[in-house]
């Protein structure tokens, strides 16, 4: 990949008007694309995509074509600074001398890592500009050229057509082209292209399906004048458990930004929940709503970025909106309070949603319908928890749409998290600059405009957040608290206090005896909310108190011992705390299990970056993923590793038995290591395929699938090993020695999974879409990229029954009854009977993936 050094080397900035190479984008906008018409010695179009802090650039001599059958040559040139997107005018000096017009500009998206796709030589993406729209591809050519050659190709979609870039020139660009045409042939080409007068292809507007008549016929619908102005949204109250009964429907709680859409006279306006315009941030959503062909409407929904599992990814959304990533966004719609001249706010929710579903039946992919289930709220919440979702929103099916917060909408969160006002900060310590931690407060329910201090949060901040917050609060505040302090905290000496001005969403693990948050960690800064929003929410209803749980059946309640000594010499506090409530297993049982299995367990995790699942209060309460170093760990290794965003983060990894038992003391139940070591994090020594059967797949089919996988891998010359997951399926693991680069491993895993799924379409599927997986085995290859993890051999799973992920000999496969045949009791007994590890010799197998991906294609 090029750097800005080439850009800088080729230009004399004392003689050119082009922007200097050290201009850095602000990081508060989405990743852009720009196409510039450049009248250099040879007229061409410069096609540029923002990837990180630079514009990746290609020279396209004939310009982009909307015809999918046309492959336009695109010659890769040096990276340009993002500020170059604003450049127009004459370049009077240098190799790029000539006139530049801006042909188009907008945002772009791609599913996955843009840089990885470019390294692979095939980038699929979407453009959202005024002239260039829809899907496109850049494919690297095998032709040997002085500069890397690519082809720019239009995807077959709603925007495809017989249109060329020259057909779309405006008067200014046409004049520049005409002035630059110095030869008769060039002038003839200009005359021919400008005579066609074709327009930008448009997405076909969907038929309105007589929805105006259907809306007007609903009970409670009333005629109303359309408006594209902001309307106040209905808000949900926080509750600990979902309501029961058939009068409630339950939706996924999407982890994104609430967006309100209003259409009048066909014009779309997007608003945040605080009445801020969002059209510029979401041109993809605007274009998709325009394609519905509506004259007037109002929509309520959440804009999300979806991960490979189809779950909303809030970090991915934030990174996309700030330009750090280019993920596709989806507007998940869950309400329709107005449609085509009819106010539907008094119509029952279920009828509104049924009409909305009809409207979205053929909508573009950037508009999604938020599906729901009626009744059995506990089962729906349990399902959401099992799938790792943030929670659910429960709504009365017959309720009207009321602005503000009421009891018709309830939100139930899986993770214990909440939003607090920032009321101050502590000074920084050590190498940290700006501040040490943020001081948090919640509204005082008994005092109007009053706030109560709830604790400090100093972890979970990205480097960019630290920088921005430090600049915002630098030298501000006073030494006098602006909130009520429930207790004197000596750690607040030197703190600076400010009036509530920002909102932080924080994870925490219960409330301590001084009514302070336990183990708080920042989830995100909620720039879409203000402290006034918190006051409205909490004082309107207050948060429910946590429910107390009854003693486990069959066990006598007893006073918990204050501590005991773990087998590795680590103190285990609260050893009698029940962590598997359905089975009665305690924290001490967990420590004893790992101590008994330690010599088998350690080789799979030692010196590997390891994510863990912590359940400090047991599996019945909130569990959470932890991969970064936390305060208090003394026996666990830590290493600075580069994350996908490019930032450095401190990862944890086990050093020895003490590390494992110390993590158990911190509430860890599961261990999920990388497929590489701390010493060589960029070199994978494992490939893991997860065979995840659908609910209606019988176990013998999973067994047969694993055997087929082994056979197909063997045909490629690869030896494989077998492991139960402690869940529904099996892992087939391929060792690599001396190892392979992660991009190579990822390409192979994807190609192998796709090949198997194509050859056996009735048995396997290689896509993560839940709706397509019925009756099939999902061949999950997504654990094979840098930073991805899979459960360790012998690790417990935080599930009922305390199952264990167990390595097996292939000869044992036929004896298995399920993927959770072994548990906290049977696993140590099994290993005591065996003379050697089932995976003995795995580290001595010498094999790699060289030429493997090519064999599959």
Q: CA 99, CA 326: separation in Å to the nearest integer?
A: 30
Residue 727 has pLDDT above 90, yes or no: yes
The band of 1, judged by pLDDT with boundaries at 50, 70 and 90, is very low
Q: Please state whether beta strands 730-741 and 721-724 pair in parallel, antiparallel, or not at all (unpaired).
A: antiparallel
Residue 351 has pLDDT above 50, yes or no: yes
Give mean pLDDT, residues 73-92: 90
Q: What is the DSSP letter of 90?
A: E
What pLDDT does 711 receive? 94
Q: Hey, what are 388's tokens?
A: 């790792």
Range ranked top by mean pLDDT from 18-22, 124-128, 165-169, 494-498: 124-128
What pLDDT does 529 receive? 82
Q: Please state whether beta strands 578-580 and 721-724 pair in parallel, antiparallel, or not at all (unpaired).
A: unpaired
Give mean pLDDT, residues 52-61: 92
Is 683-855 the same fold as 563-673? Answer: yes
Residue 826 has pLDDT above 90, yes or no: yes
CB contact at 8 A, 313 and 255: yes
Helix (H, G, I), strand (E, B) or coil at 107: strand
What pLDDT does 559 receive? 36
Q: What is the DSSP letter of 436?
A: S
Q: Please state whether beta strands 730-741 and 683-693 pair in parallel, antiparallel, or not at all (unpaired).
A: antiparallel
Higher pLDDT, 3 or 331: 331
What pLDDT does 76 receive? 94
Q: Using one digit for the tens of pLDDT, what is the confidence trace for 273-297?
A: 989 999 999 999 999 999 999 999 9
Residue 705 has pLDDT above 90, yes or no: yes
Helix (H, G, I), strand (E, B) or coil at 733: strand
Residue 260 has pLDDT above 70, yes or no: yes
Of the candidate ranges 264-278, 441-455, 665-679, the one whose mean pLDDT is the lowest: 441-455
* Domain 417-541, CATH: 2.40.50.140
Higher pLDDT, 521 or 590: 590
Q: Using one digit for the tens of pLDDT, what is the confidence trace for 173-203?
A: 776 666 666 555 555 555 555 555 577 777 6
Asked about 776 being catalytic, the answer comes back as: no
Residues ≥6 apart with Cβ < 8 Å to 608: 653, 654, 673, 674, 676, 677, 678
Residue 257 has pLDDT above 50, yes or no: yes
What pLDDT does 26 receive? 46
Residue 364 has pLDDT above 60, yes or no: yes
- Backbone dihedral angles phi then psi of residue 769, each to the nearest 5 degrees: -65, 115
What pLDDT does 554 receive? 29
Tell which CATH architecture fits domain 683-855: Alpha-Beta Complex (3.90)
What pLDDT does 418 receive? 87
Q: Hey, what are 583's tokens?
A: 């089975």
Higher pLDDT, 204 or 112: 112
Q: Using one digit for the tens of pLDDT, what is the confidence trace for 549-591?
A: 222 222 333 333 445 554 446 889 889 899 999 899 999 999 9
Q: CA 237, CA 405: separation in Å to the nearest integer?
A: 7
What pLDDT does 261 receive? 98
Residue 211 has pLDDT above 60, yes or no: yes
What pLDDT does 292 receive? 92
Phi-psi region of 197 (alpha: psi -120 to 50; beta: other; left: phi over 0): left
Q: Using one digit for the tens of pLDDT, what is the confidence trace for 775-803?
A: 899 999 999 999 999 999 999 999 999 99
Q: Which residue has the tokens 């060589």?
A: 680
Of the candidate ranges 49-53, 140-144, 507-511, the one whose mean pLDDT is the lowest: 507-511
Which of the residues 253, 411, 587, 627 is marked catalytic? Answer: 253
> Which class does domain 212-413 fall in?
alpha beta
Q: Please state whether beta strands 404-413 and 391-396 pair in parallel, antiparallel, or not at all (unpaired).
A: antiparallel
Distance between start and end Cα atoms, the chain: 25
CB contact at 8 A, 396 and 408: yes
Q: Please state whether beta strands 610-614 and 668-673 pair in parallel, antiparallel, or not at all (unpaired).
A: antiparallel
Mean predicted lDDT score pLDDT of the chain: 86
Whole-prediction pTM? 0.56
Domain boundaries defined on the chain: 4-196, 212-413, 417-541, 563-673, 683-855
Q: Where are the alpha helices (DSSP H) in 719-797?
A: 742-759
Higher pLDDT, 852 or 754: 754
Q: Hey, what are 514's tokens?
A: 């001084």
Beta-sheet strands, E only, within 117-243: 122-128, 133-140, 149-154, 222-223, 234-238
Residue in 684, 652, 690, 687 with CA at minimum distance from that of residue 671? 652
Q: 3-state SS string over 567-606?
A: CCCCEEECCCCEEECCCCEEHHHHHHHHHHCHHHHHHHCC
Residue 89 has pLDDT above 90, yes or no: no
Q: What is the DSSP letter of 836?
A: S
Q: Using one digit for the tens of pLDDT, what is the confidence trace for 742-761?
A: 999 999 999 999 999 888 88
Percent of the chain at pLDDT > 90 equals 55
Of the candidate ranges 41-55, 58-72, 436-450, 736-750, the one whose mean pLDDT is the lowest: 436-450
The band of 523, judged by pLDDT with boundaries at 50, 70 and 90, is confident
Bridge partners (DSSP) listed for residue 721: 733
The band of 204, judged by pLDDT with boundaries at 50, 70 and 90, is low
Residue 645 has pLDDT above 90, yes or no: no
What pLDDT does 561 receive? 44
Beta-sheet strands, E only, within 23-118: 32-39, 43-51, 54-60, 72-81, 89-91, 98-109
Higher pLDDT, 206 or 259: 259
The band of 270, judged by pLDDT with boundaries at 50, 70 and 90, is very high
Query: Angle, to 10 degrees, between the axis of helix 742-759 and the axis of helix 699-715?
Result: 120
What pLDDT does 11 receive? 84
What pLDDT does 2 receive? 47
> Which class does domain 563-673 fall in?
alpha beta
The band of 357, judged by pLDDT with boundaries at 50, 70 and 90, is very high
């Amino acid at each position: 990949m090029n750097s800005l050094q080439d850009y800088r080397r080729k230009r004399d900035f004392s003689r050119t008007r082009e922007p200097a190479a050290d201009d850095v984008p602000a990081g508060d906008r989405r990743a852009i694309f720009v196409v510039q018409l450049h009248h250099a010695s040879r007229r061409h179009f410069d096609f540029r995509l923002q990837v990180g802090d630079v514009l990746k650039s290609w020279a396209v001599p004939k310009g982009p074509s909307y015809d999918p059958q046309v492959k336009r040559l695109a010659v890769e040139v040096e990276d340009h600074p993002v500020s170059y997107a604003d450049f127009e005018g004459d370049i009077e000096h240098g190799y790029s001398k000539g006139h530049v017009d801006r042909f188009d500009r907008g945002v772009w998206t791609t599913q996955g890592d843009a840089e990885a796709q470019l390294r692979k030589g095939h980038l699929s993406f979407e453009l959202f500009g005024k002239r260039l729209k829809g899907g496109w591809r850049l494919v690297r050519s095998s032709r040997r050229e002085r500069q890397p050659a690519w082809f720019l190709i239009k995807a077959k979609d709603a925007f495809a057509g017989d249109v060329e870039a020259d057909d779309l020139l405006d008067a200014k660009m046409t004049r520049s082209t005409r002035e630059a045409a110095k030869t008769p042939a060039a002038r003839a080409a200009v005359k021919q292209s400008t005579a066609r007068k074709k327009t930008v292809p448009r997405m076909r507007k969907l038929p309105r399906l007589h929805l105006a008549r259907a809306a007007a016929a609903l009970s409670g619908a009333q005629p109303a004048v359309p408006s594209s102005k902001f309307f106040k949204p209905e808000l949900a109250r926080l509750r600990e458990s979902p309501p029961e009964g058939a009068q409630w429907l339950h939706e996924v709680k999407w982890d994104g930004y609430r967006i309100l859409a209003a259409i009048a006279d066909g014009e779309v306006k997007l608003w945040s929940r605080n009445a801020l315009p969002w059209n510029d941030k979401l041109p993809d959503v605007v274009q998709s709503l325009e394609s519905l062909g509506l004259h007037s409407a109002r929509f309520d929904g959440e804009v999300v970025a979806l991960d490979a599992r189809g779950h909303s990814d809030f970090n991915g959304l934030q990174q996309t909106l700030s330009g750090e990533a280019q993920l596709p966004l989806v507007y998940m719609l869950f309400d329709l309070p107005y449609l085509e001249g009819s106010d539907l706010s008094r119509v029952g929710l279920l009828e509104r949603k049924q009409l909305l579903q009809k409207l979205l039946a053929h909508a573009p992919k950037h508009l999604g319908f938020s599906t729901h289930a009626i009744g059995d709220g506990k089962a729906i919440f349990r399902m959401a928890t099992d799938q790792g979702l943030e929670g659910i929103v429960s709504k009365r099916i017959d309720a009207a749409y009321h602005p503000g917060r009421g009891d018709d909408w309830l939100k139930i969160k899986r993770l214990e998290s909440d939003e607090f006002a920032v009321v101050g900060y502590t000074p920084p310590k050590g190498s940290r600059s700006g501040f040490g931690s943020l001081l948090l407060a919640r509204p005082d329910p008994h005092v109007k405009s009053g706030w109560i201090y709830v604790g400090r949060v100093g972890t979970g901040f990205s480097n960019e957040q630290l920088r921005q917050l430090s600049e915002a609060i630098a030298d501000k505040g006073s030494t006098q608290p602006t909130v009520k302090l429930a207790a004197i905290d000596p750690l607040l000496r030197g703190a600076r206090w400010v009036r509530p001005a920002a909102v932080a969403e924080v994870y925490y693990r219960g409330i301590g005896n001084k009514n302070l948050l336990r183990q708080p960690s920042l989830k995100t800064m909620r720039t879409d909310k203000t402290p006034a929003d918190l006051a409205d929410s909490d004082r309107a209803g207050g948060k429910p108190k946590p429910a107390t749980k009854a003693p486990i059946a069959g066990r006598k309640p007893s006073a918990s011992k204050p501590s005991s000594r773990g087998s590795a010499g680590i103190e285990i506090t609260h050893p009698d705390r029940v962590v598997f409530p359905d089975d009665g297993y305690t924290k001490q049982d967990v420590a004893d299990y790992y101590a008994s299995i330690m010599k088998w367990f350690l080789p799979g995790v030692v010196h590997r970056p390891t994510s863990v699942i912590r359940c400090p209060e047991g599996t019945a309460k909130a569990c959470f993923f932890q991969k970064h170093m936390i305060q208090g760990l003394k026996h666990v290794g830590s290493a600075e590793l580069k994350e996908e965003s490019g930032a450095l983060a401190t990862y944890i990894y086990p050093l020895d038995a003490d590390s494992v038992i110390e993590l158990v003391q911190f509430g860890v139940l599961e261990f999920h290591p990388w497929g590489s070591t701390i010493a060589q994090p960029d070199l994978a020594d494992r490939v893991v395929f997860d065979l995840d059967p659908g609910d209606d797949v019988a176990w013998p089919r999973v067994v047969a699938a694993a055997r087929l996988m082994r056979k197909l891998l063997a045909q490629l010359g690869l030896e494989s090993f077998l492991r139960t997951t402690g869940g529904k399926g099996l892992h087939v693991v391929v060792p690599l020695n001396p190892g392979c680069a992660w991009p190579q491993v990822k390409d192979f895993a994807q190609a192998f999974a796709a090949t198997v799924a194509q050859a056996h379409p009735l048995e396997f599927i290689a896509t993560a879409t839940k709706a397509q997986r019925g009756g099939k085995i999902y061949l999950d290859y997504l654990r094979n990229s840098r930073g991805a993890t899979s459960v360790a051999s012998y690790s417990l799973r935080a599930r009922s029954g305390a199952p264990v992920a167990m390595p097996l000999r292939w000869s044992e496969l036929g004896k298995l009854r399920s993927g959770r045949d072994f548990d906290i009791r049977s696993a140590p007994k099994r290993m005591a009977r065996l003379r050697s590890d089932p995976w003995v010799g795995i580290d001595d197998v010498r094999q790699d993936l060289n030429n493997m991906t090519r064999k599959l294609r």
